Amino acid sequence: MPSAAANSAAVNSSPTTISSSSLPEATTLGSVNDGHSFVNAFVQDNPYFQAGFGLMVVGVGLTALRHGITLGSTALRRRMLVTLEINNKDRSYEWFLTWMARQTAAQARAQKRWAPWARSHQLSVETTVEQRKNGSSSALFKLVAGPGTHYVQYKGAWMQVKRERETKSMNMMSGTPWETVTLMTLSRDRNLFSELLTEARDIAMRGQEGKLVIHTAWGTEWRPFGQPRQKRPLQSVVLGSGVSQTIENDLKAFLDRRQWYADRGIPYRRGYLLHGPPGSGKTSFIQALAGSFSYDICVLNLSERGLADDKLFHLLSNAPERSFVLIEDIDAAFNRRVQTSEDGYQSSVTFSGFLNALDGVASGEERIIFMTTNHPEKLDPALIRPGRVDLMQLIDDATPEQSQILFDRFYRETDTPNSLPASELQKLSKRLGDVVKHEAQLGRRISMAALQGLFIRNSAKDAIASCQNFFIDRQPELKHDKH
Ligand SMILES: Nc1ncnc2c1ncn2[C@@H]1O[C@H](COP(=O)(O)OP(=O)(O)OP(=O)(O)O)[C@@H](O)[C@H]1O
């Protein structure tokens, strides 16, 4: 900002500019023979100028003070405070938000101990919706610290937590805005950051330990859906004789041969197609198998709106480590080579795009894909050729043996107060086996899901007495051999 002195200096230094022609009145008045005395008179005698000059001095002073304070506080902050920035591109972002959600809950419980200014009222809800095959859906909510400033106390140290959301740009793949969380605390507590992050990661991992994590597609990213689930024991899914073992052995052999594949330059992937009537245990088995191998499951819904060939390719090439990709009802997706959902929406995933995504880029990355269908006969041969589907396995309706094993699981192996004597239960179990065998000869079959429903609702006696009502006419499906 130019000072008054400078102004006057500019005027003084060029007295010749105040010529008699430009200031005829001044010359005529004869009061100013040179510019110097004119300016002096103007500055000293003009009250408006003096007031303006005073204001300018105050303004300059305040600006300098403000700069000084800013510089001082920045220097002080640099010396005394330490910040940590976590971006939502990083995995620890989710861990941190979950950790914060716990802190917020703990804070609500111990509100009396908290300084009122530290109470956080800025929560935001994160909802995940699971769309099931039968059209139903379920939603899960998680309350997390919303955008804004929050304060938390960790191991005795106060921290400021600022969650900021980018408004001008977003992750084009997932359609979510970029976000950052900035933690600030005193320099002397800087080590607490790594402790906090370790704790946040451990909490996230502990929640998943011994559990099955289901991921769903979110744009082109995979995100865990809901809470990790209790693993289902593999034996609880009762399949036909040797079926479970066949798939398990195949998977084990594949996992043991990574180097074998690498040495021969073969893409390290395996595709499984489980086919059979509804309710025979295809999905349950895949989930139990994933649990027993400590793998996650990535559920891919090809009818999802917004899913196009490029996104599908990206998703299949970037599934989380140690996970099965599960694509259910594959026949519904491409039975006419065009994918149409129930409400008539035509997906932009093309059949050739899907095949392309299945083949993926030839890389050493492990990829295990499970597909299920009730109608293998409708599938295009291109889809089930070796390399895309390496093992096709029929998972069928209940055989006499399967139905008896399931019966025993429900009634004989559980010691319920009103349970019948063992000999009685054994007779009922045998009767069930006979009924299943007899009905099969008449072309009538019962699904394992129907048997499970029957056993859940009834006593052993009632279940056997009424089971005949649940058989339906169904031709057995042809068995498919391993490719
Ligand atoms: N073989 C089985 N052993 C034990 N339970 C079974 C079996 N088959 C089905 N069930 C039970 O029936 C229900 C439905 O099973 P699941 O969804 O796995 O069948 P599915 O074959 O995948 O059916 P769909 O072809 O309709 O997808 C589950 O609750 C499961 O516990």
Q: For 76-126, write each residue's pLDDT tens digit.
A: 666 788 889 998 888 788 888 888 878 777 766 665 554 444 455 566 666
CA 116 to chain centre: 33
For ligand 1, is residue 239 a contact (CB within 6 Å)?
Answer: yes
Total residues found in the chain within this entry: 483
SS (H, E, C) 400-428: HHHHHHHHHHHHHCCCCCCCCCHHHHHHH
Q: For 148-164, write each residue's pLDDT tens digit.
A: 888 888 888 888 899 88
Residue 416: CB partners within 8 Å, gap ≥ 6?
none
Burial 334-359 (b: 16+ CB within 10 A, else e): bbeeebeeeeeeebebbbebbebbbe
Side chain identity at 450, as an amino acid letter?
A: A
Residue 139's pLDDT band, with cuts at 50, 70 and 90, is: low
What is the per-residue pLDDT for 19? 37
Residue 29's pLDDT band, with cuts at 50, 70 and 90, is: very low
Q: Ligand 1: which of 132, 238, 284 to mutate, judged by most atoms within 8 Å of the beta carbon? A: 284
Say how many Å lie between the CA of residue 452 and the centre of ligand 1. Answer: 9
Say how many Å lie between the CA of residue 208 and the centre of ligand 1. Answer: 24
Q: What number is the ipTM of this complex?
A: 0.98
For ligand 1, is residue 238 a contact (CB within 6 Å)?
Answer: yes
Low-confidence winner among 103-117, 338-352, 458-472 (lowest mean pLDDT): 103-117
Angle among Cα 279, 281, 284 to the nearest 5 degrees reads: 120
Closest Cα to atom 6 of ligand 1: 281
What is the per-residue pLDDT for 156? 83
Helix, strand, coil percentages (3-state) for the chain, rounded to 5, are 45, 20, 30
For ligand 1, is residue 373 a contact (CB within 6 Å)?
Answer: no
What is the per-residue pLDDT for 13? 38
Low-confidence winner among 31-45, 246-260, 396-410 (lowest mean pLDDT): 31-45
Which helix (DSSP H) or strand (DSSP E) does residue 429 occupy? helix 422-441
Looking at the predicted structure, is the pLDDT value of residue 263 above 60? yes
Looking at the predicted structure, is the pLDDT value of residue 326 above 80? yes
Say how many Å lie between the CA of residue 314 and the centre of ligand 1. Answer: 30
pLDDT average, residue stretch 314-335 = 87
For ligand 1, is residue 279 a contact (CB within 6 Å)?
Answer: yes
Could you write out the DSSP letters of every residue in 301-358? -TT-TT-BHHHHHHHHHTPPSSEEEEE--HHHHHTTSS-B-TTSPBPB--HHHHHHHH
